[in-house]
Structures are given as structure tokens and as C-alpha cells.
Structure 1
């Protein structure tokens, strides 16, 4: 499961969090909303993007959030496996 950040033009209040499958909603003073949280797979991601489209809210960006600690651990484990 990956974590994503989805930026929208417009301010959605916290009531929309449930509609967006429990993602965290943050609105800023510049008139944007950021949805952040885990997305189980590509089908779920496409579903979220479709919901944004259904609202008529402009989609600004979709970014995957990388956990640098997890990536470092995975690299470390990979190196250990290669030395045994």
C-alpha cells in the first residue's frame, strides 16, 4: 500500500474526508485542498481521481509519498541477502 498526496483547487471541509475514504484533508489559505493518506492499489487511486472529477474540482497534482526510512531498510535488507 502506498501513501499519496492529492492537491485540489478549492477548499473542501473535513466532512468530505469520509467520502474520500478516510484520507486526511487539509485546506490552506491559498484556496487549495490536500488529500493525504494510504491508497490500497491503482484501482482505488483511479476511484479517488474519479470522485474528484465527479465533484468538478480541478485536480492540481497527484504525488506518491516515499517513506525514506522504509526505503533505506529495504536497501539494507537487500544487501544482507546478497552477502549470505
Structure 2
């Protein structure tokens, strides 16, 4: 392969993700999101950040977001060394 495409194994590895939602989630939901960290911003968004085991687990989190009825703003896979960099330097999934 030419390096553009990832192998199926790459999608089965844990990754660090940032999921942005429109609206604030209360702390009572932290257990439901399997240890993701909640950050509520003053602009009314909630950021869920943390390790996600694989793509199946990511889709599970996204189903939970859907079930809560909060609009999904974005999903980013964040490189551990880039966790605190501005969003322009992260890769969108």
C-alpha cells in the first residue's frame, strides 16, 4: 500500500479522543461515558476527552450522545503529545 490507507488493525487500537457537544452535560453522566473527562466551556459546549478502546467503543459513545439528544459538534482523534495544542493541529475523524 502507498501509506495513505490504514490497516484494519490500526482501527482496533486504543486512541485518545475529544468529542464536542452543544450543551452542558451534568456530572451524573460521567459513569455512563466510561471514564471520559467532562469539560464544560462557557460558550455552552461540553468536551468529552479520554481513551477509547477501539472504533466499536467510539461508536458506543456516539450512540449515547445521540440518545441524550445533544447535537454533536465534532469528533477528533488526538495524538497524546498534541492533547493541549490548538484544534487546528489535530486530526479530525
Shorter-chain TM-score bucket reads 0.7 to 0.9
TM-score between both structures, scaled by the size of structure 2: 0.71
Aligned-residue CA RMSD in angstroms?
Answer: 1.2
Where does structure 1 lack aligned partners over 5 or more consecutive residues? 70-84
TM-score between both structures, scaled by the size of structure 1: 0.78
Q: Distance in 2 between matches of 1:37 and 1:63?
A: 11
Residue by residue over 1:28-71, the C-alpha shift from the partner in whole angstroms, topping out at 9 and shown as x without a partner, is 111000000000000000000000001110000000011238xx
Where does structure 2 lack aligned partners over 5 or more consecutive residues? 1-13, 83-93
Segments of 4+ in structure 1 off by > 3 A?
Answer: none
What is the count of residue pairs matched by the alignment? Answer: 69
Structure of higher RCO (CA pairs closer than 8 Å, 6+ residues apart): 1
